[in-house]
Structure 1
């Protein structure tokens, strides 16, 4: 009886020892494979990034391609690690397929963002460094990712916008064209001479070297409002100088009009009181 028990214990001990050696060795190999795979993924991604920089590839595409290569290598590494424990590749593919279907149904909105991100990268309605707006989202593009686009607002606040919102709405790109037109409505008094005011404002525009000669700047009468004759000042400048030129012209308009005895009137309303109303007020 004692001999039988000893044999059983010996068999169990041998089994545990062999299993420990087998799975322990596999675990060590798996950890080593995982570490090497993660290290190689970073090295490959950095190498690709350097190649893209030397090739002057668009900055919009570089981070996306880098991320794709990084996670592709890591996915292959994970499959190799599972193979160390005897998991069949076909089984892994089947599990990944089923998981992808389930995840796709659960994350429809996220997949829409990915699809929108791919369309943004392919069609390029905007690129890194451009200032865009779709009404509710506005800022300078810093990075276009697969899920969201990173922007910096005019006040310096960082904004992450889902790609789907940018793709499925009308988008204004303020930086795409090299030139931009300044439109500035200005009101003068009905007592002033519009021809004199127009000539003075036109000379103001022509004196600024930042304003383009073609198309030529011009000033026209656009409306007769309640308390002012409305003029519209139009001039073209480079997009990079747009705000500097606009603010500079706006600052000089009042002094320019005052120099030719023209004024910017306050809104006024005339009241005519009839004799009947005067009698009621006197009573």
Structure 2
């Protein structure tokens, strides 16, 4: 089962990680005296012993521990300590076994009288032996086994109840619609959508289930280990480990409290500063607050920039109060991050600056029809880094803001949207020969414009003669429109109607080329401008003898 796997894994982890420190740890030592060694019996420090005349302090401590273990394990020997006072020493005997010998030098080293030291050792040894035997008695072991069994049953009940409660809660939340969960946002910045909020709540519940299960298992093991003398130190130290961890955490929190107050005050100031900026932005968007020269489309970008710089300033203020700010690791990471940003963000910073300039220069807005270099289409996205344009062919082209700023921008939407009385004029050029009257051409071109869908009748289309070339004349047709999003389609329709109208009135759309052979040819000046008696000149032919005479001379 699943619980068995993580139960075994947790137990093994606990044993491998904590066992070396638990088994090797001794109780809190008494104040250290010079040249003394503690006598440890059954994991407890009884007293400290100085070196003797023959044996070292460590050898004496080991010998006393060995004798105490022999006496404690022999149930036939009653725990009755007898003091045998001699001239220069006092022996403490249990049954026939002398366990400790106290000399005058020992008393002098420890700074007490020999009789007082003997009485202290006698009480300590009697209690240690009694505890040793009582903790290993059958009654104690049976009672510990009963408590362990009850704890095991309690653990399983706790685990099943936790699975039941969390399981029902998770299933109930999973069956709920995503619309039942709130959208988490901060000053119009969406932190979590309803879908993400639902996923976050479910994840927190599952992690809480896991943490509570591991915590219950931890304290269950500590309680069970305390019931048996062989593992009692393990259980005690598990509890001590939690206690010390909580104490260190609490002490660290208390010591960090002044810095935490500074961070909290800074956060509160930033919060209300952003709230005030949001209030001003909302009033300006609603038209309740106006600043001369401040355009409506500047409101959101300005608020976001001010919010960004406010948060950045707050972050700079808070950083010195963060834990570990002065540590070499924190400083090294900060230098590394700064180096990476400085080396890799040159182009990014350029694009951001260009994006800000484009916002406040108001070169174009979302939905405008623009032409940037060779790209023409509708502006779909305008951010600090890039501008996206959707072409009439439904292609989405992404342009870096630095390139956009350094290019000429033609905005076809600004005039028609903000100045309806001054609409956008489209123009196209047709080259026709001098032999066609310009009045006839003007009439054909303007008629073609008025037939075109999307061309306005007011103001009326008009024609400019932009160049008198060697062979043709350049006629530039100008027509107004209020639908810049249809420019490619209007141009296509306009060119079709120009062909139709020219064909209807007999105008041949060609750019003629002439060779100057005037003899016998009619002039290209329109007939309305020629004299009434004008006749095409005849051909002049030179005598053939003149041609042959020239050849004979050569």
Select the residue among 220, 223, 235 that pairs with 2:478: 235
Partner of 2:286: 54
Q: Please give the alpha-carbon distance, in whole angstroms, between the structure 1 residues aligned to 2:475 and 2:511.
A: 18
Give the structure 1 partner of residue 399 of structure 2.
Answer: 161
Across the two proteins, how many residue pairs are aligned to each other?
A: 254
SS of the aligned residue for 2:398 comes to strand
Task: Report the RMSD for the aligned CA atoms in angstroms.
Answer: 5.1
Q: Counterpart in 2 of 1:249?
A: 494
Residues 97/126 of structure 1: CA separation in 2 closer, same or farther (3 Å cut): farther
The yes-or-no answer on 1:259 pairing with 2:497 is: no
Change over 3 Å in CA distance of 1:114–1:264 after alignment to 2: same
Deviations 1:30-72 (A, max 9, x none): xxx9xx99xx89x969x66755542496346525634763785
Q: 1:183 — aligned with what?
A: 427
Q: SS of the residue aligned with 1:151?
A: strand
Give the number of the structure whose alpha-carbon radius of gyration is greater.
2
The structure with higher relative contact order (CA 8 Å, sep 6+) is 1
For 1:232 and 1:255, locate their aligned partners in 2 and report how far apart those are by CA, in whole Å: 17
How far 1:76 moved relative to its partner?
4.8
**1:113–1:164 Cα contact (<8 Å) kept:** yes
Tell me which of 450, 456, 462 is aligned to 1:210: 456
The correspondence for 1:15, drawn from 241, 244, 265, is: 244
SS in 2 for 1:233: strand
**Structure 2, gaps ≥5 residues long:** 1-22, 30-232, 289-294, 417-422, 516-554
- Mapped to 2, the partners of 1:61 and 1:87 lie a distance apart of 37
List per-residue Cα deviations over 1:128-178 (Å, max 9, x = no partner): 222233315543223332222233233233333221111123322232333
Distance 1:245 1:113, change over 3 A: closer
Q: Which residue of 2 aligns with 1:69?
A: 307
Q: Which whole-Å deviations, capped at 9, do the CAs of 1:73-110 have from their partners, x for residues lacking one?
A: 5985898699574758xxx99x9799557623442111
Contact preservation (8 Å) 1:142, 1:150: yes
Distance 1:201 1:59 in 2: 40
User: TM-score, normalised to structure 2's length?
Assistant: 0.36
Cα distance in 2 between the residues matched to 1:136 and 1:205:
26
Aligned to 1:199: 443
Closer/same/farther in 2, CA of residues 105 and 51 from structure 1, 3 Å limit: farther
CA spacing shift, 1:197–1:153, aligned 2, 3 Å: closer
CA 79–22 in structure 1, closer or farther in 2 if over 3 Å, else same: farther
Q: Is the 8 Å Cα contact of residues 446 and 477 (structure 2) preserved in structure 1?
A: no
